[in-house]
Amino acid sequence: MTLLDRPRTTGPVPVVTPERVAVRPAEVQAWVTEQAALLEPADIVWVTGSTSERHELLQLLVANGTIEQLNPELRPYSFIARSAESDVARLESRTFICTDDPADAGPTNNWREPAAMRAELDGVFRGAMRGRTMYVVPFAMGPIGSPMARFGVQVTDSPYVVVSIGTMTRMGDAALEAIARGASWVPAVHSVGAPLAPGQEDVPWPCNDTKYIVHFPETREIWSYGSAYGGNAILAKKAYALRIASVMAREEGWLAEHMLLIKVTSPEGRSYHFAAAFPSACGKTNMAMMTPNLPGWTVETIGDDIAWLWIGADGRLRAINPEAGFFGVAPGTGLRTNPTAVSALWGNTIFTNVATTPEGDVWWEGLTDEKPARLTDWRGEEWTPASGRPAAHPNSRFTVSARQCPSIAEDWDDPEGVVIDAIIFGGRRASNVPLVVEARDWDHGVFMGATIASEQTAAAEGTVGELRRDPFAMLPFAGYNMADYFAHWLDFGRRLRRSARVPRVFQVNWFRKGADGSFLWPGFGDNARVLEWMVKRIDGQVGAIDSPIGSLPTAGGLNVEGVEVDEAALEELFRVDPEAFLAEADDAERFFASFGDRLPAELQRQLTLLRGRLEAA
Ligand code: GDP
Ligand code: PGA
Ligand code: MN
Ligand code: MN
């Protein structure tokens, strides 16, 4: 069906794929009928994933005023969306995990009793899609055909969300066919919560001040209401691939993690794969697309936000990126910091809450060193450098296909995944935490992951800069009790040890600041130097200093040739203050205590060992 009579385009004419006749599995059909009775949409459209369908949806969004097409000469077939002011980030306070026993959600999640939440949601969702089209969106996470691929069907009344799912997942008929062949699937219901009365005019960004992002891990269901922001509305991503998948992973013996995946190749031509967990807006996308500032080294992208890891038949830790696109932070992404991302965004990109230039292109803080003289800011208001406010929202985003990334690895979508050589944990820490430190062994690595703290960012609501515990960068994403999650990681190590191929574990911090408040380490491409040191550790080519918190590079161990960092800064980057770490240990103790006797004894033991080493230092 056509959504508009004649799609108009000023961009390049897309390839039109012939409509395929979709199979409609009876179980999905029955669920859709049930949802339609609840949501009362004016119309139902089954999304096929074809190029012509995407084109029609984009034209519809333009007609609705949700998106505007950018100048096709400057940014081919690309669009800008300006959201409602209240709908710019993930909402952790409105994210719920509903389990029969509150202890199964654990102290770090917002728990609600399932029956009570169901009753509440029934009231909220009843008639929520009146006057709107309900899109039925089948999707696959992971390459279809991979033993790791998982499926879902989302209904949504937001065409913006449909095109976003189209970029971020393998969406449409192929996923529905897999479900028809018997693959299990997770149902996900999404509404912007803005029903239209007959004749009522729509707004460009429909949403509701009341928001819910609700998970029922025991019955594997997702319900999201009131927001069209990616992290709240693309339910395949955070809600499924992390929160629900983490529960599946625990039961089935694998891991669903908030991690980037990269392939690193040395000048000798040897390749290594890394998985790295940093909290939201702490450098995953940038590291995933790094241009090494180190001759002879290459970094290729496999994933930038989510990794699913399992132990392969060969006993080795393997990983896939379940997504198909990148939903990246725009500010700070510039030619100097991340030329790869900048070139990935040449066209076919949807930008949300960035600023626009008078010529019809995009701009955000950090894209260029010099600020344009005149812009339209993310709210749609006139902006000049004298305005004294950011032109782009600090959590403005780009949504782009993984295939468009020039650094994408050839085997990024290998159904068998890649073998992981090392795991990295990180966070945003102005003080204390050194540039890099290696865990003594897997269990110490789990302790490191469990005790990560990071300064909050604009990616979620809350006070930017405030330090909080964010174990494994999974605080907002673990769908079950975090203490059980720690135990699952410890158990994973025991299973890996049986095959004697245990990956190394490291902790990094690109964000340590000097007395003047500026970053001590140049970061970005120079982070390749840290990767080089890790590779040398993996290959047993360099020794290390045995510090109380783990192994540090020896003097001269880190290659800093040609880096803009002086001796004093370098010393500060690696300074470990036992007093400060004893205070951190006290804080970790309080955090651990919140889990009661569900906390694995091994973590308490690691804490005691750490204290002992710090006191002896
Ligand atoms: P993600 O949300 O974890 O994927 O983080 P991004 O890679 O999108 O980065 C979030 C913000 O941190 C952006 O503004 C980046 O410019 C900034 N950033 C990323 N890597 C570094 C780094 O190595 N050093 C510094 N100083 N900033 C960084
Ligand atoms: P990020 O992804 O980790 O790239 O910020 C979105 C999020 O975590 O909300
Ligand atoms: Mn993320
Ligand atoms: Mn990212």
Average pLDDT of span 514-543 = 97
Q: Helices in 423-557 by DSSP H: which ranges?
A: 442-450, 482-498, 528-538
Residue type, 128: A
Residue with CA at minimum distance from ligand 1 atom 24: 523
Average pLDDT over residues 411-438: 97
Give the residue from 113, 85, 55 showing the smallest Cα distance to 377. 85
Task: State residue 22's pLDDT score.
Answer: 61
**Can you point out the beta strands (E) in 205-364?**
212-216, 221-225, 255-257, 259-265, 271-277, 298-303, 307-311, 317-320, 325-329, 350-352, 355-356, 362-363
Ion ligand 3: residues, CB within 5 A, are 280, 305
**How many A from CA of 305 to the centre of ligand 3?**
5
**CATH number, domain containing residue 505:** 3.90.228.20
Residue 366, sorted as left (phi over 0), alpha (psi -120 to 50) or beta, turns out to be left
Beta bridge partners of 187: 153
Evaluate: CB of 278 within 6 angstroms of ligand 1: yes
Instruction: Please state the φ and ψ torsions of residue 352, each to the nearest 5 degrees.
Output: -130, 125
Determine if residue 238 is labeled as part of a ligand binding site: yes
What's the ipTM?
A: 0.98
Domain extent for 427: 256-323+411-576
Indicate which residue's Cα is closest to atom 3 of ligand 2.
280
- CA 226, 107, 395 angle in degrees (round to 5)? 40
95-106: average pLDDT: 98
Say if CB 511 and CB 430 are below 8 A apart: yes
Active site residue 405: no
**In this structure, are 234 and 303 located in the same domain?**
no
Based on the domain organization, do 210 and 312 belong to the same domain?
A: no
228 a known binding residue? Answer: no
Question: In terms of domains, do 188 and 269 share one?
Answer: no
Q: What is the pLDDT of residue 2?
A: 40
Q: Which of 19, 419, 352 is nearest to 168 (CA)?
A: 352
CA distance linking residue 339 with residue 251, whole number of Å: 41
For the residues 462-486, what does the mean pLDDT come to?
A: 97
CA distance 212 to 305: 23
- Among all bound ligands, the one having the nearest atom to the CA of 282 is 1
Examine the fold and report which residue of 194, 220, 252 is the final residue of a domain before the chain moves on. Answer: 252
Q: Name the band, by pLDDT with cuts 50, 70 and 90, for residue 8.
A: very low
Using CA atoms, how far apart are residues 454 and 442, in angstroms rounded to an integer?
A: 22
- Show which of 252, 268, 289 is a domain's final residue: 252
487 within a domain of the structure (yes/no)? yes
Quick one: what percent of the chain has pLDDT higher than 70? 96
**What are the distances in angstroms from CA 610 to CA 329, 486, 490, 606?**
36, 18, 17, 6
Domain's final residue, options 196, 220, 252: 252
The residue nearest atom 8 of ligand 2, judged by CA position, is: 280
Mapped onto helix, strand or coil, the DSSP state of residue 116 is helix
For residue 1, the model assigns a pLDDT of: 37
In a domain, 363, yes or no: no
Q: Is 305 annotated as a binding residue?
A: yes
Nearest CA to ligand 1 atom 18: 283
SS3 content of the chain, % helix, strand, coil (to 5): 30, 25, 45
pLDDT score at 498: 85
Same domain assignment for residues 314 and 176: no
- Per-residue pLDDT, 564: 87
308: left (phi over 0), alpha (psi -120 to 50) or beta: beta
Catalytic residue among 98, 207, 282, 405: 282
Ligand 2 atom showing the smallest separation from residue 304 Cα: 4
Q: What band does 15 get if pLDDT is binned at 50, 70 and 90? A: very low
- Specify the ligand 1 atom closest to the Cα of 281: 2
- Give the model's confidence band at 297: pLDDT under 50 very low, under 70 low, under 90 confident, else very high: very high
10 Å CB burial of residue 314 (0-12, 13-18, 19+) is exposed
pLDDT of 35 reads 98
User: Strand (E) positions, 439-478?
Assistant: 453-455, 467-469
Q: Are residues 183 and 152 in the same domain?
A: yes
**Band of residue 4 on the pLDDT scale cut at 50, 70, 90:** very low
For residue 280, say whether it is annotated as part of any ligand binding site: yes
Model confidence at 269: pLDDT above 50: yes
Residues with CB under 5 A from ligand 4 (ion): 284-285, 328
Angle, nearest 10°, between helix axes 245-252 and 482-498?
A: 40
Structure tokens at 585: 């240990």
Distance 197 CA to ligand 2 centre (A): 35
Residue 154: phi and psi, rounded to 5, are -110, 135
Is there a binding annotation on residue 293?
no
Cα–Cα distance, 280 to 304 (Å, whole number): 11
pLDDT in the model for residue 139? 98
Domain identity same for 148 and 284: no
- pLDDT of residue 12 exceeding 50: no
Rounded average pLDDT over 182-201: 97
Co-location of 197 and 111 in the same domain: yes
Using a pLDDT cut of 90, give the percent of the chain over it.
Answer: 94
Q: Among 465, 407, 435, which residue's Cα sits nearest to residue 532? A: 435
Q: Is residue 138 part of a domain?
A: yes
Instruction: Confirm whether 146 is domain-assigned.
Output: yes
Between the alpha carbon of residue 585 and those of residues 448, 450, 490, 581, 610, the distances in Å are 11, 12, 20, 6, 8
Strands 544-547 and 550-553: antiparallel
Query: Is the domain of 211 the same as that of 300?
Result: no
CA dihedral 312, 504, 260, 365 (to 10 degrees): 180
CA of 317 to the centre of ligand 2 (A): 24
Across the range 431-447, mean pLDDT stands at 98
pLDDT tens, residue by residue, 38-53:
999 999 999 999 999 9
| Residue 46: per-residue pLDDT | 97
Mean pLDDT of 395-421: 97
Interval 110-168: pLDDT, tens:
999 999 999 999 999 999 999 999 999 999 999 999 999 999 999 999 999 999 999 99
Q: Do 189 and 268 lie in a common domain?
A: no
- Residue 73: pLDDT above 90? yes
Whether 96 is in a domain gets the answer yes
Pocket flag, ligand 2, residue 231 (CB < 6 Å): yes
Is the CB of residue 109 less than 8 Å from the CB of residue 97? yes
175 is a domain residue: yes
371 is in an annotated binding site: no
> Do 177 and 270 fall within a single domain?
no
| Same domain as 198, residue 314 | no
Q: Let me know whether 261 and 137 are in one domain.
A: no
Tens digit of pLDDT for each residue in 200-255? Answer: 999 999 999 999 999 999 999 999 999 999 999 999 999 999 999 999 999 999 99
> Quick one: pLDDT at residue 521?
98
Domain membership of residue 397 (yes or no) is no
* Separation of CA 523 and ligand 1 centre (Å): 9
Look at the chain and report how many structural domains it folds into.
Answer: 2
CATH of the domain at 170: 3.40.449.10
Pocket test for ligand 2, best of 261, 280, 475, 477 (most atoms within 8 A of CB): 280
Q: Is the pLDDT of residue 6 over 70?
A: no
Higher-scoring residue by pLDDT: 617, 99? 99
Chain centroid offset of residue 218 CA: 23
Residue 59, ligand 1, Cβ within 6 A: no
**Residue in the structure block whose two tokens are 């700070």:** 332
Does some domain include residue 97?
A: yes
Q: Return the SS3 of 586.
A: helix
Q: Which H/E stretch holds residue 188?
A: strand 185-191
